[in-house]
């Protein structure tokens, strides 16, 4: 099936959202943990986390328009300056998915979805106890994208908890060992399988294809 620009524009609203959300391929799945200034915790699933650079260690995520709809994650990040990123594994993927529901202000997604808070000394944002790969980040910058009123929110990694069995030589990680999941669209989750590892690609070291 070939879709022209006109075909895409004519797709039924929901179908278009799902299709365009899926075409970029498999996305990472993270739970962002935050707390308000008064200590109320919040947890939400995000699929737009992206690596921005290693030195300093910067990660960003895309926040949907927040001008009309309240986004607790973003409000908390601005209020406290910190947030956590927690990988999602196969055994709690369903609980992670439901953190996206619009709960009333006073309800913490941790309790509502059967996930547990964990804390590290000197770091105000909550980690997810069930997650084996946890990152603590300090908020650095927001870059508005006027084209669709989304925002790129950037944080710097302050601490990382990574199980030894995931670590491979040279700092590589095999995320299949903790059953990390990937996402297509907004609701289809995939298991990971590591299938290859190649050296840094140099023209003079090209294999014979
Ligand atoms: C699989 C999945 C991925 C999502 N990814 C994002 C995302 O990258 N950015 C975003 O703003 N919202 C994303 N959402 C929606 C948020 O999870 C949802 O709006 C959540 O209620 C935000 O919580 P908050 O208002 O407590 O910040 C995603 C939802 C699902 C189900």
Q: What is the pLDDT of residue 67?
A: 82
* 185 close to 22: Cβ distance less than 8 angstroms: yes
Ligand 1: which residues within 6 Å by Cβ?
A: 42, 44-48, 61-64, 71-73, 97, 100, 102, 183, 186
Strands (E) in 73-203, as ranges, are: 82-87, 117-120, 123-128, 134-145, 150-161, 181-184, 188-191
Q: What is the pLDDT of residue 105?
A: 86
Residue 99 CA to residue 108 CA, distance in Å, equals 9
Residue 204 CA to residue 68 CA, distance in Å, equals 54
Residue in this structure with the two tokens 């298991």, named with its chain if needed: 191
Per DSSP, 201 falls in state: P
Q: What is the pLDDT of residue 184?
A: 97
> Exposed, middle or buried: residue 142 (CB in 10 Å: 0-12, 13-18, 19+)?
middle
CA-183 nearest atom, ligand 1? 1
CA of 25 to the centre of ligand 1 (A): 18
Digitized pLDDT (tens) for each residue of the chain, 209 residues in all: 999 999 999 999 999 999 999 999 999 999 999 999 999 999 999 999 999 999 999 999 999 998 878 899 999 999 999 999 999 999 999 999 999 999 998 899 999 999 999 999 999 999 999 999 999 999 999 999 999 999 999 999 999 999 999 999 999 999 999 999 999 999 999 999 999 999 999 999 999 99
Q: What is the pLDDT of residue 69?
A: 83
Q: CATH number for the 27-187 domain, one of 3.50.30.30, 2.30.110.10, 3.40.50.1820, 1.10.630.10?
A: 2.30.110.10
Residue 135 CA to residue 132 CA, distance in Å, equals 10
CA of 142 to the centre of ligand 1 (A): 17
Q: What is the pLDDT of residue 66?
A: 84
CA of 106 to the centre of ligand 1 (A): 18
Residue 16 CA to residue 18 CA, distance in Å, equals 5
Residue 209 CA to residue 194 CA, distance in Å, equals 22
């Amino acid at each position: 099936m070939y879709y022209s620009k006109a075909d895409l524009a004519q797709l039924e609203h929901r179908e278009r959202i799902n299709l365009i959300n899926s075409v970029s391929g498999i996305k990472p799945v993270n739970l962002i943990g935050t707390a308000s200034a008064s200590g109320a915790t919040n947890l939400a699933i995000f699929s737009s986390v992206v690596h921005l650079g290693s030195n300093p260690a910067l990660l960003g995520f895309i926040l949907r328009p927040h001008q009309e709809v309240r986004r607790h994650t973003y409000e908390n990040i601005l209020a406290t300056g910190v947030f956590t990123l927690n990988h999602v594994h196969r055994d709690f993927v369903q609980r992670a998915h439901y953190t996206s529901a619009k709960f009333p202000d006073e309800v913490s997604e941790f309790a509502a979805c059967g996930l547990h808070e964990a804390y590290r000394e000197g770091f105000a944002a909550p980690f997810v106890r069930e997650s084996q790969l946890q990152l603590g980040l300090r908020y650095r910058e927001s870059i508005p994208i006027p084209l669709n009123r989304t925002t790129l929110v950037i944080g710097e990694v302050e601490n990382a908890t990574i199980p030894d069995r995931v670590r491979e030589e040279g700092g590589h990680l095999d995320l299949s060992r903790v059953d990390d999941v990937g996402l297509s669209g907004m609701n289809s989750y995939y298991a990971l399988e590591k299938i290859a590892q190649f050296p840094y690609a140099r023209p003079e070291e090209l294999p014979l294809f």
